[in-house]
Amino acid sequence: MKSLMIRPVLFLVPLMLAAQTPGILNLYPANPAVEQAELNQAVQEANGSSVDLTRALEQHLRKYPNSARRADIEAALYKTATDSNDQARIVLYGERLLVGKPSSEPEILDHVIRALLASDDPESAKKAIAYVARYLASVADLRARPAEGHATAAQWADLADRALARATVLQARATGNLGNFEGAVESAQRSWKAMPTAEAAHEMARWLVKLKREDEAIGHYAEAVTIDDARSPWADRDRDRKTASDLYVRTHGSTQGLAEVFQSAWDRSAQALKDRVARYKAMDPNYNLSDTFEFVLPAVGAAASGDGRLEMAKLRGKTLVIDFWATWCQPCIAQHPLIEHAKLKYADSPDVVFLSLNADDDHSLVVPFMAQQKWEQRVYLEAGLSGLLNVTSLPTILVIDPQGRIQSRMTGFNTDTFEPLLNARIAEARSVVSK
Of the two residues 317 and 415, the one the predictor is more confident about is: 317
How far apart, in whole angstroms, are the C-alpha atoms of residue 430 and residue 407?
Answer: 10
Domain ranges (residues) in the chain: 292-430
> What pLDDT shows up at residue 362?
86
How far apart, in whole angstroms, are the C-alpha atoms of residue 332 and residue 373?
Answer: 12
Separation in Å, CA 109 to CA 11, 102, 132, 266, 409:
14, 11, 8, 32, 39
Of the pLDDT bands very low, low, confident and very high (cuts 50, 70, 90), residue 337 is: very high
351-361 b/e with 16+ CB inside 10 Å = b? ebbbbbbbbbb
Q: Which phi-psi region, left, alpha or beta, contains residue 399 (left: φ > 0; alpha: ψ -120 to 50)?
A: beta
Q: Give helix 50-63 / helix 70-84 axis angle, nearest 10°.
A: 150
Of the pLDDT bands very low, low, confident and very high (cuts 50, 70, 90), residue 103 is: low
Name the strand (E) or helix (H) holding 381.
strand 379-381
Q: Which of 360, 337, 356, 352 is nearest to 407 (CA)?
A: 352
Contact 65, 35 (CB under 8 A): no
- pLDDT (average), residues 21-25: 40
Of the pLDDT bands very low, low, confident and very high (cuts 50, 70, 90), residue 306 is: low
Of the pLDDT bands very low, low, confident and very high (cuts 50, 70, 90), residue 285 is: very high
Q: Which phi-psi region, left, alpha or beta, contains residue 279 (left: φ > 0; alpha: ψ -120 to 50)?
A: alpha
Span 30-81, pLDDT tens digits: 457 888 888 888 888 888 888 999 999 999 999 999 998 899 999 999 999 9
- pLDDT (average), residues 356-380: 93
Of the pLDDT bands very low, low, confident and very high (cuts 50, 70, 90), residue 303 is: low
201-233 b/e with 16+ CB inside 10 Å = b? bbbbbbbbbeeebbeebbbbbbbbbbbebeebe
Q: Which of 12, 11, 63, 10 is nearest to 41 (CA)?
A: 63
Size of the chain, expressed as the number of residues it contains = 435
Signed CA dihedral, 306, 307, 312, 315: sign only? negative
Instruction: Say if residue 417's pLDDT is above 80.
Output: yes
Of the two residues 307 and 212, the one the predictor is more confident about is: 212
Of the pLDDT bands very low, low, confident and very high (cuts 50, 70, 90), residue 20 is: very low
Span 393-407, pLDDT tens digits: 999 999 999 999 999
Collect all residues with Cβ–Cβ distance below 8 Å to 287 and sequence separation of at least 6. Answer: 152, 154, 155, 158, 277, 280, 281, 384
Instruction: Say if residue 10's pLDDT is above 80.
Output: no
Instruction: Say if residue 105's pLDDT is above 70.
Output: yes
Model pTM score? 0.80
Where are the alpha helices (H) located in 320-411, listed in sequence order?
330-345, 366-373, 385-388
> How far out from the chain centre does Cα 208 lie?
32
How far apart, in whole angstroms, are the C-alpha atoms of residue 41 and residue 56?
Answer: 9
CATH 3.40.30.10 assigned to 292-430: yes
